[in-house]
Structure 1
Amino acid sequence: MGSLHTVYSCSRPDTLLSGAAARRVPIKRPPLAPHRRPSPLPPGPGLFLAVGPGTVLPQHERKPVSPRRRVQRGSVPVLASRRRRFGGLRALTLGAGLALTGGRSSVTRTVLTAAGIGIAVAVLLLAVSVPTARHQRDARIHDRIDVNLDDRTVPASRHSVLVGDIDTVFRGAPIRGRLVEPEGRDAPLPPGLDRFPRAGDMVVSPALERLLAEPGNELLRARLDHPVAGEVNDSGLLDPGEYVFFLGGEHMESGVAGVRRLDHFGKAYPDKPLGPELLLLTVVGIVVLLTPVAVFIAAATRFGGEHRDRRLAALRLIGADRGMTARVAAGESLASSLIGVVVGTVLFAVGRRFVEVVDVQGLSVFTPDLTPEPFLAAVVVVAVPCLSLVSARLAMNRVIAEPLGVVRRAVGAERRLWWRVALPALGLSLLWMSVQDASEVQSTAGVVTVVVGVLALLMGVTAVMPWLLERLTERAGGAGPLSWQLAMRRLRSHSEASTRSVNGIVVAVAGAIALQTLFTGIAHGRAHDHRLTAQERSEPNIRVGMVRLVGAHGGTPYESLLAKTPGVVQAVGFREVRVSEAPYGMPQTVRIADCADLRLLASLPTCSDGDAFRVVPRGGTTDEGTAWKTGTRMYLDTSGPVWRVPRITATVRVRQGNPQGPFPETMLLATPEAAGAAATAYATRAVSLAYRTSRPDVQDHIRTAAVRLDPQSRIDLPNERKANTALGSIRRALLAGVAVVLLLIATSMLIGAVEQLRDHKRVLAMLIALGARRRTLSGMVLWQTALPIVIGMLSAGLAGTALGGTLLHLVGRATVFDWTSMWSMTGIGAAAVLLVTVSTLPTLRQVTRVEVIRHE
């Protein structure tokens, strides 16, 4: 295809220029008298004809002018002779002035660009505040440590306090609870408390107080049925949405039921370095979150590009050269970006005040924590204008602004595929081959390699999209309804603008899919499969859990009380104690019960008082657990009194369909007489529960019943594996970041779509004036948005899965894809684009009014 030329006429042209080609157009005018010389053009405002490329003056007006000769102001070659003295700074200043005072269209374009860049700057300032927020959060974690990590004995004194854990869970949300009792007037206060609550009173965090007050939470109110005597302040919370409570205790004993004595709270210790998997997840997350922001800033600088190009053509008409027009364009972009930096700073400062009420993926922060690092904030302030300047300069490489027209070379140039495919291939090769071991990711070279590889792959996606769109429009634009043909024509002539508007969301979705794949693979590798018992396999809605009543005393039949809980079908009670061959050694389990309950746990050939049985788990061998030999010296509770293994009556297997659930280890089952009084005294009361999962809130019913029996009870229910804290924190932070980036990209697309409609309002209004229906134009807008996003989402899915699988290969994990999450992210991205397009339809109706072309 040939070049597309746009020609703008002049009121007094001696030469008509069309693109780069020029032809002489003689103008007939009466001959001048010999004694008269042509007078110079009048000074003052107006459009002057200057000597430009391809301009030819009539023979009688030609006059040799020395370039060194000073020419009076107002003569024809004024700008041509002074452009060497018109330095780069003055050109930038002129561009900034045109952006701010160049009429309503220029001001509107500047406002749109500044708004887009401002949103991006606000997101970047939020990103550079993460180190401060993390530091403050870690400091609060260290300050509220309530475990004696020094392994020293703390004597009872007026400076000591007793602390016990009473954590719980409500509908999947963890609730941190502490039972506290001061032993003196000078006992240290836990962070977050102004005074100790009285025995039986409770101090709660603001989020927990709201949760207790919500309708439908009767189970939680019954579980925490204590008078509320105060509120936990911010120093005792990790974030505004954390559920925390302190309950006043009475008659607590150190060393009993997990109670410990402390003389201070908090422990300062160096941060543990992240492992290769978590470090890789963090590095990739940062790259994935910041790359779409950079893509968006580069796209925002091109808002209103066609209007700006027409203004540059006018500058060329009055004598500006190509270098000057490039500098003027850079000045316009610089002015918009600087205003955008100010707007972004204001948006961040205003939004920071309301950040405590925002909860994204369970993550929230306090307002003081959201403070940007000074150095990183300075980098953002400098980098954003620099990026806008570079983007504007690269955009000018594809446009030739001539004195009487604008030539867009993008249409006529043939796009080459090899380097577009080579870019993502290079990224995958770097990630696949350069890091041979997971530990290499922790080195500086490994981090740099990962960053370069991920960037190459993500940027490769944006490079391939224009080529794919061009090929598709060439083959699919010849037939179809009128709206389709108009959309294809628009996409062919402005494919760069069409792909530029969706590049950000394509990169964001590709990165989100890669992050989800990486997280799924890491979490899958850490998780342990839940082995179902025969009873659970025969009855899929039956699950088995364990309740340990660590603070229970006496002979209360807890199993019969818990059996009355709604949803519980069977309850088996026993005692449980942990023993080890050496102090603080590897613990093993002894369960103590009478013969009737032991027969429910294992297939016993015979049983009487004084018997003990070694139980081998399903799939194990009878040679396992060699420590269980008669007379072996053990320590109760891993550090208590010495205890000897009783006589082993037999080695047995786990009973088929036992209500205890799967045995994870070889353990000892003993009657009370065989275990002895010392082991029975150190043992914890435990109840194994079989319950129906079809019962609504059955787990919360069990927790409430157990807490009412013993506030210090510990409940272990299936599908509640202890998650890796660092992995969970990184996952929440990354998901929150992806949500923020998608919101940014959707906003930017809305601004870009409105800007494009404004740029072509005269053309669209002319079509309406000639008889086109608005329904046809609406279909055109939808088609020209839907097609790039379909191509983009397919490319994002392919790139995201490839990147996620490659990253899992780096850390030696099996590739596991969460297809549901991937399709969800793809659908969210596509829905965001279509929603933005529908939101532009009112603007389309406004700009297609016939009054828009009243000046034509």
Structure 2
Amino acid sequence: MTLSDTRKAASPTPQDSYVRIRSWLRDLAYGLRFAAFGGREGWIRNALTAAGVGLGVALLLIASSVPHIMDNRDRRAEARAPSQQQYYGPDGERPGEPSDTSVLWADASTEYRTDIVNGLILRADGARPKLPPGVDRMPGAGEMFASPALAELLASDEGRLLAQRMDYRMIGAIGDTGLLDPGEYFFYAGSSTLTLGDGVWRTASWGGPAAESLPYDPVLIVVITLACVVLLVPVAVFIATAARFGGDRRDRRLAALRLVGADAWTTRRIAAGEALFGSALGLTVGLAVFALARLFAGSVRVWELSAFPADVVPLPRLAAALLLAVPVTSVAVSLFALRSVVVEPLGVVRNTALRRRRFWWRPLVPLAGLLLLLNGNTFNSRDPSAEVSPFPIAAGAILTLLGITAMLPWVVEALVGRLRGGPLSWQLATRRLQLSSGAATRAVSGIMVAVAGAIALQMLFAGMHDSFNRTLFENRVWDQLNVSSEYPSKALADRMTEELGRSRGAKDVIATIRTVVSHPNRESTAGLTVGDCTALRKLAEITSCADGDTFVVHAHEDRRQNDWIDTTARKGGVVLLGDEERAAPWTLPVRSPTVLGNKNAEGWENTGVYATFGAIDVRDLASGMTLALVPLNAGVPDAPEHIRNAAAGIDPALRIWSVRMTERDARYESLQTGLLAAASATLGLIAASMLVSQIEQLRERRRLLSALVAFGTPRTVLAWSVLWQTAVPVVLGTVVAVAGGLALGAAMLALIGKEVTRWWIFLPVAGVGAGVILLVTLVSLPPLWRMMRPEGLRTE
């Protein structure tokens, strides 16, 4: 026989490949059977694994449904927007002729306390008007369709002030097709006096593009990206941890299989089959939890958003990737756990040659994440239109969080290995950790990710909050409402001054008309403010004023802005009242004094040209707005609502917005409370895995514990040893997590151009981690007491 004949004979045949694949499938089937029919202990282990994996899968399925939820919201927003192709207005190219199907509409959105109430006022031009989605007829004068959430609010004592503002007769509810989400406050009201003009438009159909949205603030992108990473990374870590529940008992079963003739590769395939069963059970539980949770999607509101159950559908690609990744991850984690385990017929040997963990690569992972955050995604955080990519931010945050978990095993091994002496309970705990610290650090790793992420988020929000408050304090912020229209009107300004001034919630009213003046060559513009002397004196440092006077108002600090104003508005020169083609010319009086402006609520000075009503005929203004600044009366409860009610009595289409510190403080406080609650819930979930791991280790040492008691070791000593064994990894993990969370938070604040203001914000989260230690120890004491009975020494 030649050498080539030997190679040909040794080459595998298709029959050999078939036998090998059949053998592999048989081993996987054995693993599935062992996992399914492993008795009471096996089912307890499977139940814990299914619960852990199932909760993680449900959360990831909900997260993968967010794109579908937002896409359906956008579609419904477009469906109820007036068609842009038939979007007629008083200043449009077409005259807006009425037809049998056209509808007049005006935006009547408002606010109520901290909630936004959107709505339109409608009037049909003909007998067959095009109906907006969600209603079956056009509301008549004084009638209203409301969303179910708004109708419930109006009928309650909580919405009493809002009901006074929206004095319409309820004739029905808006259907789901006309709402963005179940919790939205939205209405359609009818009017018989609505006429085409300023602020009122005509449309012949619905379903055009929604109003163009402003680009996302780069700071908001950073916050949302970090929040998603912090919420999802601990879930992934928890799934990997749950896949290793019952690992010690599984290794003993594999040793028994080696005793009856199975080889090492067979035991690994059987272990993969057991992992597949647990992950499949977890996927089933996760799908069931997701199906149940989506039924209550409309009753849960996060960041002012909720969803219809029909919208909570995972993207097919993301769902398929998730359903495939969970079993693959479970098998990979199980096989990875066996890399340092030698399963022999007479037992299991772990780490026969105790090898110290390598340190050099561990700090490189979080450092790479921090460098990616600081240098890989620079942008101007003060420019709302600045482009920022979320992917480098997410990658940097993930590397930082995962790098923190890579540091813990080395830290625990390095410190515990140097511990010597102490009470007997301390020695028992430290010796146990010296021999096997892997199980303890695996359970703590999930806590570390959750704690570090929560600290980073709280630092980020605290820095943003304190920076905002400092800016408002330096700029002498007023607690005020701004009421405006989309057109200039002296009559409206006078009415605002009178009727808003009579409101209980108003301390003062400053009503003016705002527009611009342009240089004759249209190369530059400056602001124009028209009002009476009383209002103008409150906006600028004007000492002498009479009707017919004009002023040029400069800023205190920005000299370049002042040069721009003087270039546009030359005293004695001609300017254009507006920047449109039909802007009327006007001569700025040469004797107009130059004065300095006062800072407004937003912290900037309203500079440019000031004119009294006697100096400019408002009818010559081609465009502009009528604006009333209304400082609130802090001594009146619900002062903003009284002002909004008065504004609705003037014109329901008036736009109202606020600059208020108290509401912002309350929202930041509630946000911090929510972050702490979410971190506590995550820690509680991971505490369950720690408890399972702790009880499993106690069961493994049942004979040893019974022997110690039989030799006279007090049970309290063993109980204290369990406490130290739990506390040491958690304390070390908390220290590492706090350091990593502070570093990540500081990096995120540096990314958005803010300063760290609260270094001690980690204390509440660290306190929750200490509570986890106590909880796990207390719950593990009853099984510990049962395992220390003399019966534990019996054997067969």
TM-score normalized with structure 2 length: 0.81
Contact 2:493-2:512 at 8 Å conserved across structures: no
Query: 2:563 matched to which residue of 1?
Result: 623
Residues 635/575 of structure 1: CA separation in 2 closer, same or farther (3 Å cut): closer
Select which of 245, 257, 261 maps to 2:202: 261
Q: Aligned partners of 1:494 and 1:314: how far apart in 2?
A: 22
**C-alpha distance in 1 between matches for 2:521 and 2:116:** 32
Tell me the equivalent position of 2:184.
Answer: 242
1:465 corresponds to which letter in structure 2?
A: L
| Residue aligning to 1:814 | 753
Could you tell me how far apart the structure 2 residues matched to 1:128 and 1:110 are? 26
Q: 1:100 to 1:563 in 2, by over 3 A?
A: same
Corresponding position: 1:90 with 2:26: yes
Query: Residues of 2 paired with 1:360 and 1:702: CA distance?
Result: 28
Cα pair distance change 1:438/1:599, threshold 3 Å:
closer
- Report which stretch shifted further, 317-326 or 208-217: 208-217
Partner residue, 2:138:
196
The gaps in structure 2 that reach 5 residues or longer are 1-18
1:174 to 116, 119, 122: 116
- 1:473 Cα shift? 2.9
Q: Is contact 2:680-2:768 (8 Å) kept?
A: yes
Question: d(CA) in 1 for partners of 2:152 and 2:164?
Answer: 15
Match of 1:823 in 2: 762
State the Cα RMSD in Å: 4.5
Distance in 1 (alpha carbons) for counterparts of 2:766 and 2:641: 34
What is the match of residue 10 of structure 2?
none
| Partner SS for 1:241 | coil
Deviations 1:49-89 (A, max 9, x none): xxxxxxxxxxxxxxxxxxxxxxxxxxxxxxxxxx9999332
CA shift, 1:692, in A, is 4.5
Does the 8 Å CA contact 1:616/1:652 hold for their aligned counterparts?
yes
Contact 2:508 2:631 in 1 (8 A): yes
Tell me, in whole angstroms, the C-alpha distance in 1 between the residues paired with 2:441 and 2:171. 59
Choose 424-433 or 604-613, whichever is displaced more. Answer: 424-433
Alignment partner of 1:674 out of 615, 623, 630: 615
Aligned amino acid, residue 625 of structure 1: I
- Match in the other structure for 2:56: 120
Which residue is 2:528 aligned to?
Answer: 590
8 Å CA contact 1:96–1:335 kept in 2: the answer is yes
Tell me by how many angstroms 1:793 deviates: 3.1
1:711 aligns with 2:652: yes
Alignment of 1:503-518 (within 5 A): 503-514=445-456
The answer as to whether partners of 1:517 and 1:816 remain within 8 angstroms in 2 is no
What corresponds to 2:70 in structure 1? Answer: 134
1:834: how far off? Answer: 4.8
- Max radius of gyration: which structure? 1
Residue 509 of structure 2 is matched in structure 1 by 571
Who is 1:403 aligned against? 345
Equivalent-residue separation in structure 2 for 1:374 and 1:771 (angstroms): 62
Q: Residue 685 of structure 2 aligns with which residue? A: 747
Match of 2:551 in 1: 613
Query: Which structure has more helix as a fraction of its residues?
Result: 2
Distance 1:825 1:366 in 2: 35
- The match for 1:14 is none
**SS of aligned partner of 1:316:** helix
Aligned length: 752
User: Distance in 2 between the 1:261 and 1:524 partners?
Assistant: 45
* 245-254 vs 704-713, which moves further: 704-713
Counterpart among 298, 314, 330 of residue 388 in structure 1: 330
Change (3 A) 1:784 1:712: farther
**Are the counterparts in 1 of residues 493 and 627 from structure 2 also a CA contact under 8 Å?**
no
Cα pair 2:428 2:721 within 8 Å, conserved: yes
Partner SS, residue 157 of structure 2: coil
TM-score w.r.t. the length of structure 1 is: 0.76
SS at match of 1:319: coil
Aligned to 2:6: none
Matches of 1:214 and 1:566, distance apart in 2: 23
What's the CA shift for 1:192? 3.0
| Structure 1 position 465 matched with structure 2 position 401 | no
- Deviation digits for residues 707-731 of structure 1 (CA, Å, limit 9, x no counterpart): 34432233343248999xxxx9xxx
Q: Which residue of 1 aligns with 2:164?
A: 222
Query: What is the DSSP-based 3-state SS (H/G/I as helix, E as strand, rest coil) of the residue aligned with 2:361?
Result: helix
The whole-number CA distance in structure 2 between the counterparts of 1:593 and 1:458 is 57
Distance 1:206 1:667 in 2: 47
Say yes or no: does 1:207 pair with 2:146: no
Distance 2:400 2:553 in 1: 54
How far is the alpha carbon of 1:387 from its aligned partner?
0.8
Aligned 8 A contact 2:722 2:777 in 1: no
Q: What CA distance in whole angstroms lies between the structure 1 residues aligned with 2:413 and 2:648?
A: 66
Letter of the structure 1 residue corresponding to residue 267 of structure 2: T
Out of 443, 452, 456, the residue aligned to residue 399 of structure 2 is 456
Superposition deviation, residue 797 in structure 1: 3.2
CA deviations 1:575-607 (Å, max 9, x no partner) are 445555699998754333333444444343543
The answer as to whether partners of 2:481 and 2:658 remain within 8 angstroms in 1 is yes
Deviations along 1:101-135, whole A, 9 cap, x unmatched?
12221222122212211222222222222222222
The residue type paired with residue 749 of structure 1 is A
Q: Is the 2:553–2:597 contact (alpha carbons within 8 Å) kept by the matching residues of 1? A: no
Matches within 5 A, 1:275-290: 287-290=229-232
Match of 2:642 among 701, 711, 725: 701
Give the distance between the partners of 2:521 and 2:281, measured in 1 at CA: 67
- 1:151-166 matches, within 5 Å, as 153=94, 154-166=96-108
Change (3 A) 1:88 1:737: farther
Moved more, 695-704 or 519-528: 519-528
1:501 to 431, 443, 450: 443
1:549, 1:713 within 8 Å by CA — same for their partners in 2? yes
Could you tell me which residue of structure 2 aligns to residue 16 of structure 1?
none
Aligned to 1:788: 729
TM-superposition CA deviations, 1:394-424 (whole Å, max 9, x none): 1011222222222221893322222222332
Amino acid at match of 2:421: G
What is the percentage of aligned positions where both structures have the same residue?
A: 35
CA 1:104–1:532: 2 relative to 1, 3 Å = closer
Aligned CA distance change for structure 1 residues 744 and 662 (closer, same or farther; 3 Å): closer
Distance of aligned partners of 1:827 and 1:737 in 2 relative to their CA distance in 1, 3 Å threshold: closer
Which residue of structure 2 lines up, in the alignment, with residue 52 of structure 1?
Answer: none
Structure 2 residue 738 is matched with structure 1 residue 802: no
2:640 and 2:265 map into 1 onto residues whose CA distance is 72
Give the equivalent residue in structure 2 for 1:75.
none
Offset at 1:250? 2.7
Amino acid at match of 2:399: A
Which 5+ residue runs of structure 1 have no aligned equivalent? 1-82
1:571 and 1:446 map into 2 onto residues whose CA distance is 43
Aligned 8 A contact 1:567 1:691 in 2:
yes
Aligned residues of 1:572 and 1:687 also touching (Cα < 8 A): yes
Task: Report the secondary structure of 2:138's partner residue.
Answer: coil
- Deviation, 1:362, is 2.9
Q: Which residue of 2 aligns with 1:331?
A: 273
The residue identity in structure 2 corresponding to 1:713 is L
Counterpart residue type for residue 218 of structure 1: R
Please point out which of 18, 37, 50 is paired with 1:101.
37
Paired residue secondary structure (2:695) = helix
* Structure 1 residue corresponding to 2:297, chosen from 321, 339, 355: 355
SS in 1 for 2:119: strand
Distance (Å, rounded) in 2 between the aligned partners of 1:764 and 1:213: 67
> Match of 1:717, SS?
strand
Would the aligned equivalents of 2:450 and 2:679 in 1 still touch at CA under 8 Å? yes
Asked whether the 8 Å contact 1:147–1:260 carries over to 2, the reply is no
